[in-house]
Chain A
């Protein structure tokens, strides 16, 4: 019996699964259950909670939910806008959308205060840089001359801060901030008043949100909306750099040269060569495999004294470096899954038990790196469920869910004489089997790695059994360990399709919809034509409708 079949026809471990559900594509446009009004909840108010309209076809991408810049995007944007660092600053947390981070909503006065404080302090900290950007030197002595200078500054700096030209109303509002500071009870000097204008811009929703569709009108294209060139520039820069557009990209927009797929492609290729893209590639892989959540605290277990915050940093850096090197040296998906890497950190080398090269029979590709293995374990024990589930969800896009009526039976605690595999065997016998027959056999493949990723051949005095079998669309995959599992996955249709889906989710920060099918197919075909070069996948995605278009949101006021 098949537990879940996705659009790619994936058939995972044909087992008698009862109740376990998985979703390859979760449709965020899905309506609440019939008869349920989304908002009331307390029997006294109504309204709100609207959802996006249903997709119009396989090439009608979903709506683009409004989202605030992530902490990383905020920092990168400030770096590129003002040349300053926000490291160490409390900017509030991100939240998840489609498995990747988006900026958390502002829901309390504390959130608002955090943003206000950051804007004020960053503007003050960048005083010298802001002064250098003021388009008048020396500053005119008279008020009228200063006012003209400020208006020019607002237009020039505002265009970069908002990633588009300001409207006249916006410019007037910002000038009012200057005026309020220059006189009255505030009575700041000229430069401090300019800083206040910058701080105001940094609190603006046009700076804080990915406001694609906010300031300048999107372009109607049948039933869809096409992003205008400024919006496209932001989509490119935040997708590939996690930051604002650079001058070259702005120049393309201004010159009317960011419209055709070829023009978008040219910019995508240019941007992928920029060092900022390396940071994005690292960020994707850390988020994709959830490695960015690796606990830093030592487990206080004598077996794992090697696990320190420094080791965690080295683990994460290793994964980030490996992924970026794979991209820099051909972008091969197979290499990402099977490739070797040099171990440069001495503490990490100790965990790997090597003083140089890694044994390719033990380590090959991302899934055998300590970061992945430690992240998907408990602090002191391996966990086949976690390791199996993350492979299913993040590499095979099978979003398994526990059944509604689940009651979890106890897994036997660590017991002398019992291996982890033996302890978890109980999962296959009780009602949990419907899901765990999917997760656990994949997870068992990683049993050669302990809780922090060190190689082991025995556990509790017994030989580790990391063998298993997985049925994929191109046949049965038998493996004796994680290296073989990863090798099998690396050429699977399921992983290739899932990579396109995951990068789409990362770019759009939303779950894919049925309307993205054609875009995913087009990107997948380009990916295949390139011999599964991940760089070509990224370029192809930027040319798809899922990147250049969106559906209108429910309730949106259209131009």
Chain B
């Protein structure tokens, strides 16, 4: 049986971080001291943006008025970096499949539209190390909204974060479960009661047993199968450390999500989006984790309807992507604008929280991504991303970068560097390095 204590090596394992990454942890802390710990928030959208209403002119954002869809972002443009028209050479194609490997952008299984990436996504590259820096037991917090079902059951279209080819990260689609997982409930028993101690010892016993069984189980397995079991084992170890640590107090970092509502109802989508953004900020504010990902859709958004969210859009995300204009109204433009409003509200939240001499935005990178140019053409080779936040004053904010045809890998590379991980490349080596125009 394993002992109920976690050495540094155990914690690394629990975080899914190899010993080979240890030097990077030190590298991460060697860079000057930002106002708060470095963090990364990722929101991956689908069906692209209506480009003529979204894409700013290349250059200084302060010297222009943002296009109509981006109106909600106008107050924040000095904190923004636009990267339109980027390529995804590792994916190479069009269609919805780029969702699956977009955040990895490395070699993939080349099978079908939805190609399983062989390399970790950016959240998995930086998450374990950032958690280790803070001695946290949660590498990332993966959230999702209304992903399951739809889209003819094609599985990879439901996953945007991957540890490796065999272990996609399953986002938690029940926001209330995520709140309960991360934060202490209102009625928690005192941690030192005999009953609680017995309960914790009971859980430790079961997890010890599970861990030992997994260790034995994997001994004879092949490489691919061992990856699956290793991931299971790491998850159990992470759970062990989480159970050994008091949960964070939500009242210190956010607000109660309220009475649970149906997380599958399309009418609740705006509320679920809001609660997800709230939790993203609360989780990093309480330093529960330093990387939070939100999948507000699967690869096509086929489950999501904007009917009760955006009156002018009034259609499903996917059909609206294909045919943005209906009855003479460009519905998709309004949906995009609503999404830009969500992005702006996330920035608002981060700016509203003082940290050091600045705000939480000064130590956080927000990647508001989309894996397609726009739904109407399904092109994945003119991808538009936005970054907000100024970790280490790394990025050249207030700019629409000259990014035409540049690989998205470059943005991922710079995100890793900004967060203190001096990787040589992200994804495929041939185009995985950085490019000019992003770093200050």
User: Which residues from chain A sit less than 8 Å from chain B, CB to CB?
Assistant: 23, 26, 30, 32-33, 36-45, 48-52, 63, 65-66, 90, 92-97, 104-113, 116, 119-120, 169-170, 173-174, 176-177, 180-181, 184-188, 196, 199-200, 203-206, 209, 211, 213-214, 287, 290, 292-293, 295, 297, 300, 375-376, 378-379, 381, 386, 390, 399, 401-414, 552-558
Contact = CB atoms under 8 A, between A and B. Distances in A.
Given A105-B166, A293-B152, A413-B325, A407 B235 contact: no
Contacts of B130: none
B156 interface: yes
A413 to B, nearest CB: 4
A107 B156 contact: no
B310 to A, nearest CB: 14
A409 B377 CA distance: 5
B150 A295 contact: yes
A379 B201 contact: no
Given A48-B227, A204-B213, A375-B152, A297 B170 contact: no
Contacts of A555: 221-224, 226
B265 A112 contact: no
B164 A48 contact: yes
Nearest to A217: B220
Contact of A66 (B197, B228, B425, B427): B228
B245 to A, nearest CB: 11
B93 A42 contact: no
Contacts of B117: 41
B198 A187 contact: yes
B157 to A, nearest CB: 9
Given A176-B1, A200-B210, A413-B323, 13 more contacts: A48-B223, A90-B177, A96-B154, A96-B155, A105-B168, A109-B239, A111-B235, A199-B206, A203-B207, A203-B210, A205-B213, A206-B213, A404-B94
B164 to A, nearest CB: 6
Contacts of A33: 107, 110
12 contacts: A36-B428, A48-B227, A52-B224, A93-B158, A96-B155, A112-B238, A120-B203, A214-B221, A293-B150, A404-B92, A407-B379, A408-B379
Task: Across the A-B interface, give the 8 residue pairs with the lowest CB-CB distance, nearest first.
Answer: A41-B119, A553-B222, A50-B223, A96-B155, A43-B424, A555-B223, A408-B378, A66-B225
B342 interface: no
Is the contact region of chain A dominated by helix, strand, or loop, or is it mixed? loop
A213 B222 CA distance: 11
B93 A41 contact: no
A112 B236 contact: yes
Contact of A410 (B125, B140, B167, B323): B323
Nearest to A36: B107
B309 to A, nearest CB: 13
A107 B203 contact: no
B95 interface: yes
Contacts of A297: 264-266, 305
A264 to B, nearest CB: 25
Interface residues of B, number: 111
Contacts of B137: 109
B76 interface: no
B378 to A, nearest CB: 4
B423 A295 contact: no
Nearest to B205: A180
Contact of B206 (A119, A209, A300): A119
Contact of A556 (B113, B222, B229, B416): B222
Contact of B322 (A40, A405, A410): A410
Contacts of B212: 173
B153 interface: yes
Contacts of B197: 185
A177 B148 contact: no
B37 to A, nearest CB: 20
A43 B167 contact: no
Nearest to A22: B112
B313 to A, nearest CB: 13
Nearest to B241: A109
A527 B37 CA distance: 64
A378 B316 contact: yes
Contacts of B118: 32, 36, 38-39, 41, 49
B355 interface: no
A42 B125 contact: yes
B94 A66 contact: no
A411 B375 CA distance: 11
Contacts of A180: 201, 205
B166 A174 contact: no
Contacts of B163: 107
B209 A404 contact: no
Interface string B416-440: 1000010111111100100000000
B319 interface: yes
Contacts of A411: 322-323
Contacts of B377: 407-410
Contacts of A211: 217
Nearest to A297: B266
A186 B201 contact: yes
Given A107-B169, A401-B113, A173 B226 contact: no
Nearest to A389: B152
B106 interface: yes
B232 A112 contact: yes
Interface string B329-352: 000000000000000000000000
A109 B177 CA distance: 13
Contacts of A44: 20-21, 24, 423-424
A290 B181 CA distance: 32
Contact of B107 (A32, A113, A209): A32
Contacts of A120: 203, 206
A196 B125 contact: no
Contacts of A413: 323, 325-326
A41 B120 contact: yes
A435 B164 CA distance: 31
A41 B106 contact: yes
A410 B223 contact: no
A230 to B, nearest CB: 16
A376 to B, nearest CB: 7
A205 B93 contact: no
Nearest to B207: A116
Contact of B165 (A49, A104, A557): A49
Contacts of B164: 39, 48-49
Nearest to A293: B153
B206 A112 contact: no
Interface in B370-396: 376-379
Contacts of B198: 185-188
Contacts of B154: 96
A305 B213 CA distance: 52
B90 to A, nearest CB: 10
B429 A174 contact: no
B35 interface: no
B112 A553 contact: no
B205 A92 contact: no
A63 B1 CA distance: 32
Nearest to B424: A43
A214 B216 CA distance: 9
B214 interface: yes
B219 interface: yes
A113 B181 contact: yes
B62 to A, nearest CB: 34
Contact of A38 (B18, B151, B165, B232): B165
